[in-house]
Structure 1
């Protein structure tokens, strides 16, 4: 709660690094090693505000006009980022062994990673996270303090201390059609990874509409999108979207009844996959659809990066790359900078 705790414990802070590629080793030739690199000092409320601002400043934003106003949608919802950072600072291990390790916030081209020293505390497991009332606090006194301390920018309490942080994160991500985060707990550290790809892009929504099923819920849309992407869904996946256990089971059972999904394994260990007869677009049709979306996105004469095109079209990162290569080979588009330049953009000829 001091003005500058790092005077005494220099590493009890948060660091933030933005890499240009998919890993720390993916550095463009003659390009920058980091797109942004900073550390956040001060008390916890200040660190949370500054870290969230830095993440949002380094991510794309899409604007939608609704009525007389405008809604900005970031790659990662601000509230989801806030909860991830606040949880990392609240639940990290502050014992002497870990006082040399900061909370690490790392932004890659395809994901945001928030990691803190010390794994899950108590009897909580990764599968429990996001469940109703699931909590176990390593730093109980700090948790009580932070529920009464306000953040300087927003005026909100840093922590509710009501086991609501991860459920809030899951809800905010599901509202924008993003896949649920991945949790990885080890003895020495806990890590949250938020994928950047939106699950419910145009291609996926077109595929779901083509199934001809009426009355599907938003969470069933996300479950189908996960399976469409080749990832099995479990009861835990549905709970991570904010559903209570009975509702999660009912929604998955409904997909089975509709003939869209099959279950493998017994309850408690079951995985759900698309039924073999569920129509899948052919690779050629998928590529054709993706190419058309990218081509339309460039119709107004703008110069767009791969990230811009991914955001505008909802097409996956790798498919955007394939489409751009194809359009370049056909002579339909030109690039404005060398292959590995962070300034590379694309426009129609």
Structure 2
């Protein structure tokens, strides 16, 4: 998906957040002590919102070609804003208390007066706190060639765990809600039609290409008749790695 937006600052922030809501995959999560599943994005919405606000407020509008861009990859989300770090500010300082230097005080003031921004100088630390509370990896801050980039990477499971963790698979595959749903029900062999029913999807080709094939390639799902992929008797089941993944997600 590729979208360009040219509008006032408040509408731009709203549109960017709405676009991410439509674009980002959902991963299944089982809160500790609960048997109920939650579907949530790999990065908390409040962290993305804060970074987008900062990108708009700190953009260098004196450059005719300046922009704010959001890019979603399989393993990361990048928010880029044209404009160097303010004088005296380095990337490593953003993970703690640091001076608040406003590049565009009128724009920042407008966001502050509407309540979109509450406290100066704590935006990046709030982003880090939100990520940690969500179980996501805190973002990386960098500046190169006059462009500041904030990179969110999906959280990974405990080091040394056997097999892929839920977040590791989500990172590599951008695990969707329907993929997570499929792995949960495919402990026994099931036909493609049976796998499709819980999702409500009806296009067999798209379901096979978008949901089933990535899981097969990742070794989380297997065919019961692998030498005849198109067999009318073909069924699918979760591999031991896929089963472990679901079990670990429930812990």
TM-score by length of 2: 0.65
Whether the 8 Å contact between 2:223 and 2:235 is mirrored in structure 1 is no
Equivalent position SS for 1:120: coil
Q: Please tell me whether residue 148 in structure 1 is matched to residue 86 in structure 2.
A: no
Whether the 8 Å contact between 1:63 and 1:71 is mirrored in structure 2 is yes
Equivalent position SS for 1:114: strand
What's the counterpart of residue 3 of structure 2?
38
Q: Please tell me whether residue 175 in structure 1 is matched to residue 70 in structure 2.
A: no
Q: Which has the higher contact order (CA 8 A, sep 6+)?
A: 2
Q: How does 1:52-131 map to 2 (within 5 A)?
A: 52-62=17-27, 71-95=38-62, 98-131=63-96
Match of 2:146 among 160, 165, 188: 188
Q: How does 1:1-349 map to 2 (within 5 A)?
A: 36-62=1-27, 71-95=38-62, 98-149=63-114, 157-195=115-153, 197-200=154-157, 204=158, 228=159, 280=160, 286=163, 298-299=186-187, 301=190, 302=195, 321-324=217-220, 327=222, 331=226, 348=236
Q: Aligned residue pairs: how many?
A: 203
TM-score by length of 1: 0.48
Unaligned runs of at least 5 residues, structure 2: 170-179, 197-206, 238-251
What's the counterpart of residue 200 of structure 2?
none
Q: RMSD between aligned alpha carbons?
A: 4.0
Unaligned runs of at least 5 residues, structure 1: 1-35, 150-156, 205-227, 229-279, 310-316, 337-345
Partners of 2:87 and 2:77 lie apart in 1 by 26
Partners of 1:139 and 1:161 lie apart in 2 by 16
Equivalent position SS for 1:112: strand
Whether the 8 Å contact between 1:88 and 1:116 is mirrored in structure 2 is yes
Equivalent position SS for 1:323: coil
Partners of 1:335 and 1:181 lie apart in 2 by 43
